[in-house]
A and B are shown apart, each in its own frame.
Chain A
Amino acid sequence: MTSTTQPTDPLYNPKMRPIIDKIIEDSIDLDGGLMVVLNNLQSKIGYLSAPMQEYVAEALSIPVSKVHGVVSFYSFFTTVPRGKHVIKFCIGTACYVGGINQLIDKAKQVIGIEPGQTTSDGMITLEICRCVGACSQAPVVVVDEVINGRVKSSKFEKIVQNVLKEEAAA
């Protein structure tokens, strides 16, 4: 990881920088504070860019390699920005038996991207996620942290339409 000044990076965004500093400041003295800092940055900023990781390492006085080691270990942490809305497919065993694969195929048709990709307009990211603990409602699709249960392919289309409709209204 080499430090390159990217004007688009949240670290150099005057609106986001104070948020980042506040998050670090709040947990700097906490035992094992690294995870807390990264969790908060991920949820407030949306991703953990290379410059952000270096910044955190310096602030907490730990090697960058260690920060990156933690970032790359946990599936919640992402190093690239995601779309405005994230649609996640649960691939827990119950959802698999419930037919999540057919839904993923449907999503490829409807939205035109594969899980792990973001639409070119930056609106929707498709992701695969671990069991969300709503197995009695399998198969489950999570849209921006809201759990949709017993999703059939017709219902899935409606979910996508709702996301786009809300976006158009906003």
Chain B
Amino acid sequence: MKQYRSMVLISNGDSSQSKGSEAVIDAFHQAIEKYDLTSEVYLTTIPDSGSPKSQPLVIVYPEAVAYGPVSAEKVDFLVSEHLYKGRVAESLKVSDPFEIKRISWLVQRTGTIPAENRIVLEYVGVIDPTSINDFLTHDGGQAFATAMEMEPQRIIDIIKKSGLRGRGGAGFPTGIKWQAVRDAPGNKKYVICNADESEPGTFKDRVILEGNPFSMIEAMLIAGYACGADEGYIYIRGEYHDALEKITNAIIAAREFGVLGKNILNTGFDFDIHVHSGAGAYICGEETALLESIEGKRGEPRQKPPYPTTYGLWGKPTLINNVETLGNIPPIIQNGAEWFRAQGTPSSPGTKVYTILGNVNKTGLMEVPMGITLREVIGIYGKGMKSSAFKFAQTGGSSGSIIPAILQDTPMDFDSYRNVGVSLGSGALLICDDSNCIVDCVRVLMRFFQVESCGKCVPCRIGTEQALEIMTAITQGRGTMDHLAQLEWLRKGMEDFSNCGLGQTAGTPIKNMLDHFRAEVEAHIKLGVCPAGVCEMGG
């Protein structure tokens, strides 16, 4: 696996290009080759930053040092000093403290390199997803073989020590969940892979399932062995035809190979996997609704507790993990907890797969260490904003948060985000520029929740409907200031009294909107104008 030691960002916007940034980039490539650093240094470009007098600007991570202006002639010296000898080239550093403040990239965060680092996605697009042999020749199955030589408790200890947290959105420590299932009384236990990726804007699980279906089987085998389960289900959303076909074929191939079924490879361990297709209900991503759906019922969430770890599928202890969470298991077993902890942040180790969408130049999938910032995501992976300025990002599909521009330098990990009152969600990053209206955006989210609310509990069923009505009124110029107080009351009620995560988080966009974009909302109400020009304020 490729682990970069340093990362170099070179500004390459219009202003930098007029000052010769292209030549600087060429010089960097040559110098890195000359000092034989190609496998250790990751080079990329970013939009302009700081004032023109320090451009072209070069930023080196993990030390987070800014150099500028850097000319092509000085590149060799810079590479030899900083990247080869490992000391900061003081003479080229941006020294003016006012200028440093203008370089928004320099956050006080060192140690994490925001370079792409594929753990879960390592073999996606590399191996043939239809061939078990191709999987095996790429180290596939090694982790399962390693795990089978350990005591089950030892596996759980490794997962606990790794600090892996659930990647479905909530960030619950995976090892603790596994332990709870292992410790739960009963002989019959289940392992479920939650592939009901219903959050709009998220498609990481689909790519993992389509690209490396055998790794999911391997991870579920390890989980089954560690927790004492002999049966597994993959609950896959009905919209994912290709993924469904790939995983079904992979299971058939694994059975033929003898790694699924009775007495696997003569170890005395039994495990088999069934595939269950969803039928188009967002709520079924909620773990207890998913259980109901597998049991052939309406996907209405159960009351918790009891938690699925003790009372799950057909009343038996059940482990439910997200696709991406399970994707981390084989690499952790193979490389150890220490290796995993070396990436990401101390409280959220490892990487996170994001889908980057919206008004950026490049959309798609990326896997980066926990703790990088939105600014880095947009600048490095999104290749900058398409036309106008960044206004807000919507994380994690619908039930995530709306991240305003002022929070774009907050490290993206579970705890840092929680501390500033937003959440990471499932990994979708919808980047919106200032042609988008926040009120309209929240209205669309409320419509989504109103449609997808299962209707079992009153706060969510009525709350989402009323919130939608109010949001619609505001976008049509019929809003009043009383509406805002009502929205706040509804949000609080849904959060406190709803039965499941859908209702509890449905009001999050409202909270983010009122916290960070109150002026824009009030402009709709008091002035009767939509500042972004999106809403038809007919009245």
User: Do A and B interact?
Assistant: yes
B interface bracket (residues with beta carbon within 8 Å of A): 35 or more
Indicate whether A134 reaches chain B with its CB closer than 8 angstroms: yes
Question: Shortest CB–CB separation between residue A151 and chain B, in angstroms?
Answer: 15
Docked CA distance A74–B276 (Å): 14
Indicate whether B293 reaches chain A with its CB closer than 8 angstroms: yes
Residue of B nearest to A95 (CB): B200
Size of A's binding interface in residues, CB under 8 A: 33
Q: A94 touching B281 by the CB < 8 A rule? A: no
Indicate whether B240 reaches chain A with its CB closer than 8 angstroms: yes
Interface 1/0s, chain B 355-372, versus A by CB < 8 A? Answer: 111110001110000000
Question: Shortest CB–CB separation between residue B461 and chain A, in angstroms?
Answer: 14
Residue of A nearest to B240 (CB): A133
- Give how many A-B residue pairs fall within 8 Å (CB-CB): 113
| Chain B residue contacts of A91, Cβ below 8 A | 448
Q: Which residue of the partner chain, among A34, A39, A93, A130, contacts B282 with CB atoms under 8 Å? A: A130
Comparing B119-127, B253-261, B428-436, the segment that makes contact with chain A is: B428-436
Docked CA distance A135–B396 (Å): 13
Docked CA distance A129–B280 (Å): 9
* A73 in contact with B299 given A35-B279, A133-B206, A136-B357 (CB within 8 Å): yes
| Chain B residue contacts of A110, Cβ below 8 A | none
Q: A130 touching B239 by the CB < 8 A rule? A: yes
Docked CA distance A60–B454 (Å): 25
Q: B281 touching A93 by the CB < 8 A rule? A: no
Q: Which residue of the partner chain, among B281, B298, B365, B445, contacts A69 with CB atoms under 8 Å? A: B298
Q: B200 touching A94 by the CB < 8 A rule? A: yes
* A131 in contact with B201 given A73-B299, A145-B241 (CB within 8 Å): yes
Residue of B nearest to A60 (CB): B296
Indicate whether B140 reaches chain A with its CB closer than 8 angstroms: no
Interface 1/0s, chain A 73-93, versus B by CB < 8 A? Answer: 111110000000000000111
| Contacting residues of chain B (103-153) with chain A, CB-CB under 8 angstroms | none
Docked CA distance A96–B446 (Å): 13
Indicate whether A33 reaches chain B with its CB closer than 8 angstroms: yes
Question: Shortest CB–CB separation between residue A110 and chain B, in angstroms?
Answer: 23
| Contacting residues of chain B (484-524) with chain A, CB-CB under 8 angstroms | none
Indicate whether A123 reaches chain B with its CB closer than 8 angstroms: no
Q: Which residue of the partner chain, among B241, B280, B359, contacts A130 with CB atoms under 8 Å? A: B280
What are 29 pairs between A and B in contact, CB < 8 Å? A31-B295, A31-B296, A32-B295, A32-B296, A35-B293, A35-B296, A38-B279, A39-B238, A39-B279, A42-B279, A73-B298, A73-B300, A74-B281, A76-B238, A76-B279, A76-B280, A77-B279, A91-B448, A92-B201, A93-B200, A93-B394, A93-B445, A97-B357, A130-B198, A130-B200, A131-B397, A133-B240, A134-B203, A136-B357
Residue ranges of A at the interface with B (Cβ–Cβ < 8 Å)? 31-36, 38-39, 42, 66, 69-70, 73-77, 91-94, 96-97, 129-136, 138, 145
Residue ranges of B at the interface with A (Cβ–Cβ < 8 Å)? 197-203, 206, 238-241, 276-282, 293-300, 314, 355-359, 363-365, 394, 397-398, 428, 430, 432, 436, 441, 444-445, 448, 454
